[in-house]
Amino acid sequence: MATTLHPSSIVLVPTSVKEAKPRTTNSSQKLLANCKTLNELKQLHCDMMKKGLCHKPSGHFNKLVAACVQIGTLESLDYARNAVQDDGVSMPSLYVYNCLIRGYASAGLGEQAILLYIQMVVMGMVPDNYTFPFLLSACSKTMKLWEGVQVHGTAVKMGLDGDTFVSNSLIHFYAECGKVELGRKVFDKMLERNVVSWTSLINGYAGRDMAKEAVSLFFQMVEAGVEPNPVTMVCVISACAKLKDLELGKKVCAYICESGVELNALMVNALVDMYMKCGDICSARRIFEECTDKNLVMYNTIMSNYVYHGWAGDALVILDEILRKGPRPDKVTMLSTIAACAHLGDLSVGKSSHAYVLRNGLEGWDNILNAIVDMYMKCGERGAACKVFEHMPNKTVVTWNSLIAGLVRDGDVESAWRIFDEMQERDLVSWNTMINALVQASMFEEAIELFREMQNQGIEGDRVTMVGIASACGYLGALDLAKWVCTYIEKNDIHMDLQLGTAVVDMFSRCGDPSSAMHVFRRMEERDVSAWTAAIGVMAMEGNTEGAIELFNEMLKQKVKPDDVVFVALLSACSHGGSVDQGRQVFWSMEKTHRTSPQIVHYGCMVDLLGRAGLLEEALHLIQSMPMEPNDVMWGSLLAACRKQKNVELAHYAAEKLTQLAPERVGVHVLLSNIYASAGKWTDVARVRLQMKEKGVQKVPGSSSIEVHGLIHEFTSGDESHAENTQIELMLQEINCRLSKIGYVPDTTNVLLDVDEQEKEHLLSRHSEKLAMAYGLITTAQGKLQLETITGIIFSRKDIVLVEIIGNGFS
């Protein structure tokens, strides 16, 4: 044995036990404490046993257990526990139990720690004020609230709840279990609070989405005269990072500078993270560069923040730096790297990262495999993703979510929905992924139905859910639902951030409620160019050119830089408002004032604007003179204008161009046939329709929907499928009767079918919008009233029929 012993211990082995006993005791204990590995320790233990030195509950034995805990591996902890339990006769000391409980707790093996506690109590030992903090830390890691509460109860019974250490641990424990308010109660009852008490509660708030409370508690602490230490600083800085509040972060930084607390690596890292989360990259980089002992965590912080902000390329630049001069990348580095690859669609780096993960045995960590599945899906490598997925031993909800999101991106909503249905466990992200997938696939009613199902299962929507639902609602034009969405957001205290605010503005705009849209817009805390575009879109929807231009000028005043899209909204406002001059002005100002060249889409807007105004020649000239090749949209737009102006010759030319560019476009045939029809050229109509039939092109029938009591009812022209068709039929007769009484004569020029006048009138009386309106009139109280008074618009959709009626003297 002695030959393999650590050299220094050989020197200290006594020659005579009697002579050296006092010295040996101290030296052996010192040796135990210095052991770096379990093997070293085992040998020493064996040696001491031979000399009869290591009996329970001697000081030697205590030190042995402490040394095992110090080493901290699972093996060393089990070795100590076996030593404690070996004879089952002699009683180990309380110190030994405390030590072991602490060891298991800090190794993350809370269950074992709790078992030891139970064993100790069963043996009749009385826990002390050291036992509880260790045990509570074990409980918080395994997140069992009821176990912690029992410990709390015992501590109270034993009169130890007044102990500062015990109370501090209780605060931490409750916060970890998500019950920070219980931690607050403990804090409030404390007679003596130290810096750890404050820090524990600050950290509890910061970690539970109550970062505001955390920062305010920090300033209360300073006011109370308690000096914060580096740990407190780290907690409060990370609270500022969570709030993304740069001003507050700077205030805390200023305090740190004043107080003279020395920066340690953790604080530097927290500061770098805070500055990056607040968007102040320069300050973050400066602090990082100035730090003389950069560690991997700091690199990881910068990388993950770059990925978070969507600057995946910059993240990979940092990776290069790590590989050149930094420490070896670890699993967190690789997680950010893989996420960056997913973002960039960089399959090559993605694949080598996957290989690195496998080579370095990092694949045991579920998160990294999830990220790999996600990366392959985002790089379009469905096969590779599925292969990793199939071999994953622990598929979590995140894994499934990545998969369904990937399928959705692939456009395979059907598969995504099937997997979603089969999922054993769904979280909010699963629901949001699926709801937004349906919205993207224009399956708006299904999206709303799924949202209802989600609520039925007791899950409430968040910001992301509501962005999807607001968008679905807008496309459906369901105003009642839109109002409900707005109330839901308020009631559930969902933060109206830029994205949600913009979605809600757009929703009201599409539902034909401009005043609600503008009300929401005016209340938005922050407005970017997309938000302004949505508001300008409200004006466009109303054909309010002046309003749109005013908003645009206001936007410029607030130093928001216009982008391509806002000009589209602006031009469309001019177009809908029939404001040709303003439209031209906006168009030319793009280059002159805003130094941006009009894109093809802007030329398209101009063609639309000129076409609607009947300036077909000017529109054609613009198409012919623009610096890029005209696309099918422009010709389509011109064609539509020709139809309105009944210019068959130009229509023919535009249609030809259009067919060359997009032979598959259904609209061309339909429009062309309609143009021929309106000019009475029925032989040409027949020819086009025959062509359509030959090519297998079918017009998707137009439909109108109406929302009644929160349900959407959809009608197509001549639709008789509705359950209440008989009543609808009666109402149509009633409407027609009333209309003719006041002298209404249907305008049949838009019925582009080769049928006689009577048939045209019949078709017109049953087109989809009229059916939807008739249904609205019989099903809503407001509708019934409307029939009697007919004073305004009862529909959420702008309704041609209604315009027709009002235009004929109904209002």
Q: Please report, as residue ranges, which positions from 232 to 251 form the binding site for DNA (by CB under 7 A).
A: 232, 234-235, 238
Whole-number minimum distance, CB 611 to DNA, in Å?
A: 37
Nearer to DNA, 398 or 566 (CB): 398
Near DNA by CB under 7 A: residue from 43, 137, 582, 637: 137
Near DNA by CB under 7 A: residue from 125, 397, 679, 790: 397
Nearer to DNA, 365 or 653 (CB): 365
Cα 458 from chain centre? 20
Q: For the CA atoms of 713, 719, 723, 727, what is the dihedral angle to 10 degrees?
A: 100
- List the interface residues with DNA, window 415-434 (CB under 7 A): 427-430, 432-433
Whole-number minimum distance, CB 154 to DNA, in Å?
A: 14
Nearer to DNA, 164 or 748 (CB): 164
Nearer to DNA, 322 or 802 (CB): 322
d(CA 190, CA 381) in angstroms, rounded, equals 58
d(CA 316, CA 312) in angstroms, rounded, equals 7
Q: Which stretch binds DNA (CB under 7 A): 192-200, 558-566, 598-606, 705-713?
A: 192-200
Name the token pair of 336: 């950010």
Q: Which stretch binds DNA (CB under 7 A): 115-123, 199-207, 516-524, 578-586?
A: 199-207
Half-sphere exposure of 430 (CA within 13 A, CB side): 20
Alpha helices in 107-229 (DSSP H): 110-122, 131-142, 145-157, 164-176, 180-189, 195-207, 211-223
Helix (H), strand (E) at residue 756: none
Which DSSP state fits 793?
Answer: -
Give the residue among 572, 634, 632, 582 at the shortest CA–CA distance from 603: 634
Cα 606 from chain centre? 37
Whole-number minimum distance, CB 56 to DNA, in Å?
A: 22
Whole-number minimum distance, CB 237 to DNA, in Å?
A: 8
- List the interface residues with DNA, window 539-558 (CB under 7 A): none
Near DNA by CB under 7 A: residue from 280, 314, 330, 480: 330
- List the interface residues with DNA, window 613-672 (CB under 7 A): none
Near DNA by CB under 7 A: residue from 25, 93, 154, 295: 295
Write each residue from 152 to 171 as x if it is in contact with DNA (CB under 7 A), else as -, in one continuous string: -----------xxxx-xx--
Which DSSP state fits 479?
Answer: H
Q: Which stretch binds DNA (CB under 7 A): 325-333, 548-556, 752-760, 780-788?
A: 325-333
Burial of 153 (0-12, 13-18, 19+ CB in 10 A): exposed
Name the token pair of 245: 């509040």
Instruction: Report how far apart, in Å, the C-alpha atoms of 320 and of each of 307, 315, 328, 697 are.
Output: 15, 9, 11, 54
Contact 184, 175 (CB under 8 A): no
Whole-number minimum distance, CB 105 to DNA, in Å?
A: 8
Nearer to DNA, 332 or 535 (CB): 332
Which DSSP state fits 130?
Answer: T
Contact 350, 341 (CB under 8 A): yes
Instruction: Write out the DSSP string of 558-571.
Output: TTPPP-HHHHHHHH
Write each residue from 251 to 270 as x if it is in contact with DNA (CB under 7 A), else as -, in one continuous string: -------------xxxxxxx
Near DNA by CB under 7 A: residue from 194, 216, 352, 808: 194
Q: Does 301 bind DNA (CB under 7 A)?
A: yes
Nearer to DNA, 77 or 658 (CB): 77
Near DNA by CB under 7 A: residue from 43, 300, 768, 779: 300
- List the interface residues with DNA, window 90-129 (CB under 7 A): 102, 106, 129
Name the token pair of 582: 């303003």
d(CA 801, CA 733) in angstroms, rounded, equals 15
Write each residue from 762 to 801 as x if it is in contact with DNA (CB under 7 A), else as -, in one continuous string: ----------------------------------------
- List the interface residues with DNA, window 456-515 (CB under 7 A): 462, 464-465
Burial of 490 (0-12, 13-18, 19+ CB in 10 A): exposed
